Amino acid sequence: KPLAALLGAHGLRYAYRGIQAVHDVSITVGEGEIVALLGANGAGKSTTVKMIAGALRPAAGAVSWAGKNVTGFPSYAMVQEGVTLVPEGRLVFQHMTVEENLQVGGHVRRARAEFAVNFERVLEVFPRLAERRRQNAGSLSGGEQQMVAIARGMMSSPRLMILDEPSLGLSPLLVQHMFELIRRLNQQGISILLVEQNAQQSLRIADRAYVLEKGRVVLAGTGQEMLVNPFVKQAFLGL
Ligand code: ATP
């Protein structure tokens, strides 16, 4: 895979009302890569990806995207640039139908011309959502809402998809499907930044990974290196 850094986060820092959540995080995602972000609860993974996606404004540091400084860009501008954050499933629009959720996802200038194609593709990938397209998202199961969140992200024609714990609350079979889907999206040319509790499966599909601890990157390497790293094995793989 080519490794021109598509996304670069440099020295990111963030505090919630004086509580320092991210101290100094630098990560990159190359074109076509799957990069995993591991860390214990509260390590700062979500805060980091929110800063990258423009949902939070970094207190310090910089974000570059496709050779451009995008530090402080709000999330709608990042989506327009091709960076889409898929939040956890319960953050879909509960009182809108599945179809309306998808329409909102596709309501971005960069994706408008591709709306019909994206819509078709998404319903093909998620036949279960096709069946439930006129149902309120809030009436779906947790796993189905997770699918809506990803489907909504796919509607924006992303070049980088940031997935925050996509397998959360899914049954083992659906977790399997989720990882297959991430691979498939990647094969279609979408770069992936993946926040996951499921370290084993994430590292298997990841080109590279970072471990965060107390708001800092403490370890980085290829997915393969991480799978055999003693610290990773002990802390995340239960070995
Ligand atoms: P998890 O795996 O549990 O989701 P995480 O690695 O994604 O954890 P963050 O959600 O980024 O971690 O949280 C980092 C730190 O910031 C934690 O100590 C958390 O309590 C704190 N934090 C997160 N969101 C807020 C908030 N809205 N207000 C105050 N503190 C917050």
**Pocket test residue of 45, 57, 90, 213 for ligand 1, highest count of atoms within 8 A of CB:** 45
Q: pTM of the predicted model, to two decimals?
A: 0.94
Express each pLDDT in 100-151 by its tens digit. 999 999 999 999 999 999 999 999 989 999 999 999 999 998 888 999 999 9
What average pLDDT score do residues 27-32 get?
97
Express each pLDDT in 184-209 by its tens digit. 999 999 999 999 989 999 999 999 99
Please provide the distance, in angstroms rounded to a whole number, between the alpha carbons at the two ends of the chain.
30
Q: The complex's ipTM?
A: 0.94
Q: Counting atoms of ligand 1 from 1, which one is nearest the CA of 22?
A: 14
Residue 116 CA, ligand 1 centroid: distance in Å = 37
Beta strands in the chain (DSSP E): 5-16, 19-30, 34-39, 60-65, 68-69, 83-86, 160-164, 191-195, 208-213, 216-222
Whole-angstrom distance, CA of residue 84 vs CA of residue 163? 9
Whole-angstrom distance, CA of residue 128 vs CA of residue 114? 22
Residue 12 CA, ligand 1 centroid: distance in Å = 15
- Dihedral sign for Cα atoms in the order 202, 207, 213, 214: negative
- Alpha helices by DSSP H, the chain: 45-53, 75-81, 98-106, 115-125, 127-131, 142-154, 172-187, 199-205, 223-228, 230-236
Q: Counting atoms of ligand 1 from 1, which one is nearest the CA of 41?
A: 3
Ligand 1: which residue has its CA nearest to atom 27? 16
Looking at residue 141, its amino acid is: S
Ligand 1: which residue has its CA nearest to atom 17? 42
Q: Token pair 């439930």 is at which residue?
A: 132
Beta strands in 107-207 (DSSP E): 160-164, 191-195
Residues in the chain: 239
- Which residues have C-beta atoms less than 6 Å from ligand 1? 16, 19, 21, 39, 41-47
Residue 215 CA, ligand 1 centroid: distance in Å = 10
Looking at residue 173, its amino acid is: L
